[in-house]
């Protein structure tokens, strides 16, 4: 999470005020001849609640009504999932709840039945992120010592809170996909010997590759399959704590000569994903993907949006259409407002990132306390979680509703399908594994907007208030 990038893009990253509780009512499936309709209004009058089902009709929409045509014969990328970053701090807050309260909120987040929102993807930090209470790696040593054989590597810091919570989540959804991202290597591997900044010493490239191997293998031994890793969180932002500066040429060298071969030798099928930083520098992942020796080990590239346009994801995809694109982080700030942030996140990320080939959309930290703790010294002090957890009391925040609009319905394995692009009614459409069509629409105008969805010659008409978002399922 970048302080420099946050301040430079404050106009775009307007996060939300305290969210009210969501009504936990049993949803109804779409009746024959109609579509299920779930709505959130920016004034919080409706927060991800099911509405009366609009009916399909053979009658043409009224003249002048905008029409979004949905075409499932034209397909794009497969979706891996929607979710959050389960920071160490998030896990600590969840783990300190009463067992009953924790069980209830984890089911609500990760189960797919009833009113539960079906979060399907999580990002973990490999070692500490800036939203852990303390800085740590899995091989911390006294100053002046090194451990190139990684004899002292241990997941012990994660056994206190993270792994117990993860195991409860996996009991609810054994198929959830998990991405691991490091904020910093052990300090003894770094040029400055510090958790903040510095670069990876070339003589420790082999040891750091084995550090990833051990992480994947030992997490597997704990019952946690790591589907993918990114090589470095925000490699061009060495001002966070922890952090690491890793230039594109250094990342390419590390992947092609060390990490890729190490995974191959250990028969690890965890995907290697590069970059994991802002959309203003598509040259970074392109530098790596343009190197054939590096590219052969790379599954794709990951992005944040604290700077740059979301369309940069398509630029990278179009240059290397045989490699995947992921959206892996966006914060919600504690001093910004729901009515500004909810429309921006839905329009730009849930819709914009997926229309630009992203297989995932992840909001930043899953949980924080009412003071936006815990965090490292120098870590993010204004990162609001999707949940605010105060003891065992849970408040559902902005990112909860942002993610729910897609996670509940566009399940892993869904395929993005064609739908009419619109500036005033941005939208994205999916065909879910069960055959249902899922369309997320947002009203990007200052007045109520009636519109029609058209599919296979039939139309349904709906209206969204300014800034509102609706998910339509049939």
Residues designated catalytic: 234, 329
Q: Are residues 333 and 384 in contact, defined by beta-carbon separation less than 8 angstroms?
A: yes
* DSSP symbols for 105-127: HHHHHH--STT-----EEEEEES
**How many DSSP H helices and E strands does the chain contain?**
14, 20
Q: What is the bridge-based pairing of β-strands 415-419 and 300-304?
A: unpaired
How far apart are the C-alpha atoms of 369 and 395, rounded to whole Å? 10
Sheet hosting strand 49-51, strand order edge to edge: 49-51, 36-40, 469-473, 437-442, 427-431, 415-419, 67-78, 449-455, 458-464
For residue 426, give the 3-state DSSP assignment: coil
Q: Are residues 471 and 347 in contact, defined by beta-carbon separation less than 8 angstroms?
A: no
DSSP 202: G
Q: What's the start-to-end Cα distance of the chain, in Å?
A: 37
DSSP 171: H
- Rounded alpha-carbon distances, angstroms, from residue 246 to 185, 194, 238, 313: 11, 15, 9, 20
């Amino acid at each position: 999470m970048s302080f420099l990038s946050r301040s430079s893009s404050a106009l775009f990253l307007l996060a939300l005020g305290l969210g009210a509780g969501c009504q936990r009512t049993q949803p109804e499936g779409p009746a024959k001849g109609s579509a299920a309709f779930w709505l959130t209004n920016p004034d919080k009058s409706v927060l991800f609640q099911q509405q009366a089902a609009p009916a399909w009709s053979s009658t043409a929409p009224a003249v002048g009504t905008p029409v979004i045509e949905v075409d499932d014969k034209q397909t794009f990328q497969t979706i891996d999932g929607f979710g959050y970053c389960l920071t160490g701090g998030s896990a600590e807050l969840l783990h300190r709840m009463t067992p009953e309260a924790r069980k209830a909120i984890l089911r609500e987040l990760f189960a797919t039945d009833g009113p539960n929102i079906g979060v399907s993807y999580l990002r973990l930090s490999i070692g500490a992120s800036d939203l852990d209470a303390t800085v740590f790696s899995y091989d911390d040593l006294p100053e002046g010592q090194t451990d190139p054989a990684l004899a002292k590597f241990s997941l012990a810091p994660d056994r206190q809170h993270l792994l117990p919570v993860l195991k409860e989540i996996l009991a609810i959804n054994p198929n959830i996909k998990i991405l691991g991202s490091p904020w910093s290597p052990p300090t003894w591997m770094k040029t400055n010997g510090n958790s903040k900044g510095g670069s990876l010493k070339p003589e420790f490239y082999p040891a750091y590759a084995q550090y990833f191997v051990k992480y994947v293998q030992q997490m597997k031994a704990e019952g946690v399959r790591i589907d993918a890793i990114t090589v470095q969180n925000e490699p061009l932002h060495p001002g966070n704590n922890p952090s690491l500066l890793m230039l594109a040429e250094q990342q390419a060298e590390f992947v092609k000569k060390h990490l890729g071969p190490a995974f191959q030798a250990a028969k690890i099928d965890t995907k290697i994903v590069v970059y994991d930083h802002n959309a203003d520098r598509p040259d970074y992942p392109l530098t790596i993907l343009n190197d054939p020796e590096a590219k052969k080990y790379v599954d794709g590239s990951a992005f944040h949006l604290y700077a740059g346009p979301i369309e940069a994801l398509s630029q990278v995809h179009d240059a290397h259409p045989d490699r995947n694109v992921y959206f892996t982080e966006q914060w919600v700030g504690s001093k910004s407002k729901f009515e500004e942030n909810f429309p921006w996140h839905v329009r730009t990320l849930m819709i914009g990132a997926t229309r630009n080939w992203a297989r995932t959309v992840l909001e930043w930290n899953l949980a924080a306390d009412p003071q936006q703790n815990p965090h490292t010294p120098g870590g993010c002090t204004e990162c609001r979680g999707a949940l605010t957890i105060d003891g065992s009391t849970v408040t559902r925040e902005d990112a909860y509703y942002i993610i729910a609009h897609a996670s509940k319905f566009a399940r892993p394995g869904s395929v993005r399908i064609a739908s009419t692009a619109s500036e005033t009614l941005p939208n994205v459409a999916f065909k879910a594994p069960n055959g249902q069509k899922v369309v997320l629409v947002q009203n990007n105008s200052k007045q109520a907007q009636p519109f029609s969805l058209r599919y296979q010659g039939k139309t349904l008409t709906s209206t969204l208030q300014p800034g509102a978002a609706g998910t339509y399922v049939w």
